Amino acid sequence: MQPPRFRTAVLTAVTLIIVITCIRLGFWQLDRLHGRKDANAAIAAAEASPPRAVPALLAGTNDPTSLRFRPALATGTYDPAHEVLLYGRSSVEGEPGDQVLTPLRLPDGTALVVDRGWIPIDQGVPVTGEAAAPTGTVTVAGVLFPPDALTVPTGTASPVERITKVDLGQIGAQLPYPILPIYLLLQTQQPPQQGSLPEPPPLPPLTNGPHLSYAFQWFSFATIAIVGCIVLLRGDRRDEVAAVAPHRGEEI
Per-residue pLDDT tens for 3-25?
567 778 888 899 999 999 999 99
Q: What is the pLDDT of residue 125?
A: 82
Determine which helix (DSSP H) or strand (DSSP E) holds 79, and give its type and residue range.
none
Residue 131 in contact with residue 123, Cβ under 8 Å? yes
Q: How far apart are CA 121 and CA 193, in angstroms?
A: 19
DSSP output for 121-162: TT--SS--GGGSPPPSEEEEEEEEE--SB-----S-PPP-SE
Tell me how far apart the alpha carbons of residues 218 and 216 are, in angstroms, rounded to a whole number: 6
Res 244: pLDDT:
55
User: Torsions phi, psi of 251, nearest 5?
Assistant: -65, -35
Could you tell me which residue, 11 or 114, shows the higher pLDDT? 114
pLDDT at 200 over 80: yes
Predicted confidence (pLDDT) per residue in 142-174, tens digit: 999 999 888 877 666 677 888 999 999 989 988
Domain spans in the chain, listed from the N-terminal domain onward: 4-41+209-251, 70-190
The model's pTM is 0.75
**With bands split at pLDDT 50, 70 and 90, how would you rate the model's confidence at 1?**
very low
